[in-house]
Chain A
Amino acid sequence: MAISSAHLFFLLSFIALSLFLVISTAETESELVDDLQTLQSQSKSGVIHLDDRTVSKFLTSPKTPRPYSFLIFFDAAQLHDKSELRLRELRQEFALVASSFITNHNNSNTKLFFCDIEFRESQSSFHLFGVNSLPHIRLVGPTVKSLKDDSEQMDQGDFSRLAESMAEFVESRTKLTVGPIHRPPILSKKQLGLIVAILLISSPFVAKKIFAGETLLHDPKIWLSGAVFVYFFSVSGAMHNIIRKMPMFLVDRNDPNKLIFFYQGSGMQLGAEGFAVGFLYTIVGLLLAFVTHVLVYVKDARAKRVAMVVAILVSFWAVKKVIFLDNWKTGYGIHGFWPSSWN
């Protein structure tokens, strides 16, 4: 009997305990969501900052179907200055998606939370996710058990178009709508007002100056140097470098101490290369103009002669260099069509 009562006691206590446990888990679930929401509201952009402790609290310890999904941005402060990774830009875009998502759902959403993790602070979490390269964005769904294998990684292509493509990724995987991205205007309303006010106030003065004809714009030298600069800038292919984000030079793969300034193949060019050739293009014209328009007014015959010789040599060298570089880069064999009897 004693045994049975003991049994009964155990049984009862077990039931009570399990009941308590069930209640407690239910409680903790809603608690967790509450916690997350307070964390979310504390952050300015709506991105929750995770560390090792919170990762275990929200992701590893709760039981699997969790009532929420996480979209996690893996960040590393020490890599922010590496421009080719674009971490800063992506982090901002990520925050943009987060804030747009929250405002589009009027703060009532409890399904998806946007988080970020910093590498220095939480290295073990990085290990937990098996993240070893950045940029990296990962979606942890409610049913994900192993953070490393089950969670879904966002492809490079998905954040190539920044916030919009991130939103598409989220929409396609979670069946949640993100809605329109609310980009902050480039100028805030106050700044815009200020600028308009300044323009309005200054406009009579500017107009007066223009009518009087004594602005900087009336100086042809400004226009001249502007035009030549635009020319130099364009023929150097700088626009190509900006659009393609080409570096100024490359490091030689075979010999890390050597730098490559000139790239062979006509479809691509490096920054320094473009500027060098643009300079060669421009210098010849400038020297020609100098000789025809300035040098003729010089009185000293000796100075004239020296200047002309220098101009001729430099121009000749520049043209020769460009022709050589062009042949080397493109590989075209430009040849004349002479009568065959001349050969």
Chain B
Amino acid sequence: MAATETSTATVPTLYTNTLRNAFGGVLSFFILLLIGVLAFSIRLFSVIKYESVIHEFDPYFNYRVTQFLTKNGIYEFWNWFDDRTWYPLGRVIGGTVYPGLTLTAGTIWWLLNSLNIPLSVETVCVFTAPIFSAFASWAAYLLTKEVKGAGAGLTAAALLAMVPSYISRSVAGSYDNEAVAIFALIFTFYLYIKTLNTGSLFYATLNSIAYFYMVCSWGGYTFIINLIPMHVLLCIVTGRYSSRLYIAYAPLVVLGTLLAALVPVVGFNAVMTSEHFASFLVFIIIHVVALVYYIKGILSPKMFKVAVTLVVSAGLAVCLAMIAVLIALVASSPTKGWSGRSLSLLDPTYASKYIPIIASVSEHQPPTWPSYFMDINVLAFLVPAGIIACFLPLSDASSFVVLYIATSVYFSGVMVRLMLVLAPAACITSGIALSQAFDVFTRSIKFQLPGVSSNAEVDAGETSSATAEAQNNVVKTEKTETSKDRPSRKSKKKEREHVEKPSTKAKAEKKRLLALPLEASFISLLLLVLLGAFYVVHCVWAAAEAYSAPSIVLTSHSHDGLHVFDDFREAYAWLRHNTDVDDKVASWWDYGYQTTAMANRTVIVDNNTWNNTHIATVGTAMSSPEKAAWEIFHSLDVKYVLVVFGGLVGYPSDDINKFLWMVRIGGGVFPHIKEPDYLRDGQYRIDSQATPTMLNCLMYKLSYYRFVETDGKGFDRVRRTEIGKKYFKLSHFEEVFTTHHWMVRIYKLKPPKNRIRGKTKKSKSKTSSTSSPRKSGTKKKNPWH
């Protein structure tokens, strides 16, 4: 930097600036490249520490859909009726999923294969999320650059690359909708701001397409279609209407809504549910306002005053009529046209009062202050400074950022899940704050450093403060010039901004004389760097320890080293290899997606909990005594029942712990299942104090069958107690497989006795020989055999 300065000291300043810009451009490019590498590699901990697998329950479904897509093509996928799930109902997959993620991964796979890079579908799925995190940080760079210049953009991108909240949803292997959706969200916002700054229809069209991609990817697109109208309304109300605003908004509503309606899962919801009505209302308002501005332009001020009364009254009448229609529409639809989740955002206490199912989900809980420190860490300190920086000076773009952070921080306060939407906003504002603070402090130091001549001082002061702005200004002025050539009538706002530009430059000149004390700036700079270092340490820790553990493979550290529990895959593999392709497997809905994806067997219920009755049927079967349960399962054609049991190794989220939910959900539909029957004095227990209903229900029996053989006492390590009923026989079910750590146990329904008695014996002897060696070894100890 110093070398270029001395060498170019004699050249005219214009030339210096272009060279500087070129140099800065190349540097930014490499920084961005490194940021992309950082975003990708910080998410690989799960692959390095475990292996390249897909993590949670939902991603397995997405993986399976992607497999289908790559095997059968897009049209088959679009019309896919899946008969492997929700037996006997089945599920229309093409019409009930957000296809963005699967189409993206499918496209990547297809592209790689056509380039003769033979990656498996699973590998592509595992690495989709990290790749898109890199894209998301680049999108954050573009967005912040539009708002406050390239320096802020780079800082924001670096922050977003490793923000823990986003890492939690996008580590390698977490193949979920949010992975691509956050990129789509930021990119849509960028294109909106870009359109707003340039007034170009090209970007407006791109914006609609980006919005379409977002609608394809995630249900959170409603955030966009409400935030952008809010910003437009805000601009209108604060007197910032311009034709650029119109171009940014009107095509988005028309094209975006049409495109959104193309996605089967959204369909006519794009025009019929209340979440979208705000955009239409603002669409009407912006037209009224545009008309007012137009009339104002063609009339003399006096005539305008007369006209304004006319137009305002007429416009108001039209608006009122429209509002009345909208209200009528809203009121006529059930739940007033709002989905429960949206309502609980507007009225935070709504969900806890009226919808216990939504309130009970852990990611719908309101967060406490440590959640913010965990998820956005030190950004929480920087955001207020960023908000203030956005107001100095306030432009259309920076007001959008302020609105974005304010709404998203409010929503994140209601639901911890929406922290994910807050994270990009926090990164952008913190990036702005950090870059401005660095700007001020480095300028102060550079200005006052001993040994720098006064001539160089002026030069240095100017360039350091103005590079970011200058680059931006150059781009902007060019754009304004080109758009000025067009015959479109610009509002006065535009002119004002044009006048403002030289004034900000004059301000920058004044600023170079303004500096802070040297040693204080130096300490501040050091502290800010330390803060950033702490952020990096925290993010790496969060990525490595907190968010990278897959739920399909479990590990535990004990004094004698690392233990790996791979029971789930063991069980699914057993099912895949030892059962018939068309056999039906019943389990609680948590394991539905995994069973269909990994074992390729038909399940009764899965994680897409759309049919409460069906879930309640399974819940009822699990809570019933053996015979009744057998009848229910038999009526559903079930051959195998799978239960997850953590009592031997102390895995807390097993079926016994989820059992009360089965009772509740079952009892909600079949009233003969009553929760108090399973509770002793309101307490849920499985020891000798447990109720007889509890000790005789299917879930208890399937979980604890032969459990006493393991240690002779039947001590459950999760509930920390000895079980109530230790020795019992199963009359209608037989154990066919139990995994190494007993975490998954699979039972087979015995065939009806009076018809094929001889066959029963044969199959029994066969299955016992195929089951695990541990079982055959311990079998003789069982007094019931």
Contact = CB atoms under 8 A, between A and B. Distances in A.
Contacts of A293: 388-389, 392, 436
Interface in B259-310: 292, 308-309
A292 interface: yes
B520 A309 contact: yes
Nearest to B538: A334
Contact of B238 (A204, A218, A286, A336): A218
A234 B413 contact: yes
B387 to A, nearest CB: 5
Interface stretch (A43-51, A54-62, A176-184, A205-213): A205-213
Interface size bucket, B side? 35 or more
Given A269-B368, A281-B380, A296-B511, A224 B388 contact: yes
A231 B368 contact: no
A237 B374 contact: no
A239 B347 CA distance: 10
A244 interface: yes
Contact of A235 (B309, B352, B369): B369
A267 B399 CA distance: 34
A220 B353 CA distance: 37
Given A203-B316, A224-B388, A230-B410, A240 B515 contact: no
Given A235-B372, A326-B370, A291 B239 contact: no
Contacts of B433: 285, 288-289
Contacts of B389: 289, 292-293
A295 B516 CA distance: 8
Contact of B541 (A236, A277, A308, A335): A335
Contact of B387 (A231, A237, A291): A231
A342 interface: no
B373 A326 contact: yes
- With most chain A CB atoms within 10 A of its CB, the pick from B353, B369, B406, B516 is B369
Interface string A177-205: 00000000000000000000000000110
A332 B371 CA distance: 12
A322 B354 CA distance: 35
A228 B384 contact: yes
A234 B412 contact: yes
A284 B381 contact: yes
B497 to A, nearest CB: 15
Contacts of A170: none
A312 interface: yes
B391 interface: yes
Interface in B523-537: 523-524, 527, 531, 534, 537
A330 interface: yes
B385 A289 contact: yes
Nearest to B440: A292
Nearest to B399: A223
A227 B402 contact: yes
A319 B99 CA distance: 43
A325 to B, nearest CB: 8
A234 B384 CA distance: 12
A123 to B, nearest CB: 31
A223 B384 contact: no
A309 B380 CA distance: 22
B525 to A, nearest CB: 11
Contacts of A40: none
Contact of B368 (A266, A319, A322): A266
B518 to A, nearest CB: 10
A331 B327 CA distance: 50
Contact of A234 (B409, B521, B534): B409
Given A308-B516, A326-B370, A211 B540 contact: no
A305 to B, nearest CB: 5
Contact of A285 (B369, B384, B412): B384
A266 B381 contact: no
Contacts of A239: 348, 366, 410, 413-414
Interface string A63-101: 000000000000000000000000000000000000000
A291 B316 contact: no
Contact of A301 (B378, B439, B517, B523): B517
Contact of B516 (A217, A236, A291): A291
B718 interface: no
Contacts of A288: 381-382, 384-385, 433, 437
Given A227-B387, A228-B388, A285-B386, A305 B368 contact: no
B440 A235 contact: no
Nearest to B304: A211
Contacts of A240: 365-368, 413
Contacts of B313: 204
Contact of B524 (A231, A289, A308): A308
Contacts of A269: 368-370
B674 to A, nearest CB: 13
Contacts of B537: 334-336
A336 to B, nearest CB: 4
Interface in B345-401: 348-349, 352-354, 365-374, 378, 380-389, 391-392, 394, 399
B195 to A, nearest CB: 23
Interface string A281-321: 11011101101110111000100110011001001101100
A76 B658 CA distance: 41
Nearest to B320: A200
B767 to A, nearest CB: 45
Contact of B391 (A220, A232, A337): A220
- With most chain A CB atoms within 10 A of its CB, the pick from B312, B380, B524 is B380
A152 interface: no
- With most chain A CB atoms within 10 A of its CB, the pick from B354, B368, B515, B516 is B368
B112 interface: no
B237 interface: yes
A204 B312 contact: yes
B514 interface: yes
B517 A305 contact: yes
A238 B414 CA distance: 9
A243 B369 contact: no
B544 interface: yes
Interface in B482-521: 511, 514-517, 520-521
Nearest to B534: A323
A312 B524 contact: yes
A226 B237 CA distance: 16
Nearest to A199: B320
Contacts of B182: none
Contacts of A281: 369, 372, 380-381, 384
Interface string A226-263: 11101111111111101110000000000000000000
A91 to B, nearest CB: 18
Nearest to A285: B384
B68 to A, nearest CB: 39
B370 A329 contact: yes
Contact of A289 (B316, B367, B388): B388
Interface of B: 237-239, 292, 308-309, 312-313, 316, 348-349, 352-354, 365-374, 378, 380-389, 391-392, 394, 399, 402, 405-406, 409-410, 412-414, 433, 436-437, 439-440, 511, 514-517, 520-521, 523-524, 527, 531, 534, 537-538, 540-541, 544, 546
The 3 closest A-B CB pairs, nearest first, are: A285-B384, A234-B413, A239-B413
Given A281-B372, A305-B520, 15 more contacts: A226-B406, A231-B406, A232-B384, A234-B412, A242-B348, A269-B369, A281-B380, A286-B385, A288-B382, A291-B440, A293-B436, A296-B516, A308-B524, A334-B541, A336-B541
Interface of A: 161, 203-204, 207-208, 210-211, 213, 217-218, 220, 223-224, 226-228, 230-240, 242-244, 266-269, 273-274, 277-278, 281-282, 284-286, 288-289, 291-293, 295-297, 301, 304-305, 308-309, 312, 315-316, 318-319, 322-323, 326, 329-330, 332, 334-337
17 contacts: A204-B316, A207-B316, A220-B391, A227-B405, A231-B405, A231-B409, A234-B410, A240-B367, A288-B381, A288-B385, A291-B440, A292-B437, A296-B515, A296-B516, A329-B370, A332-B374, A334-B538
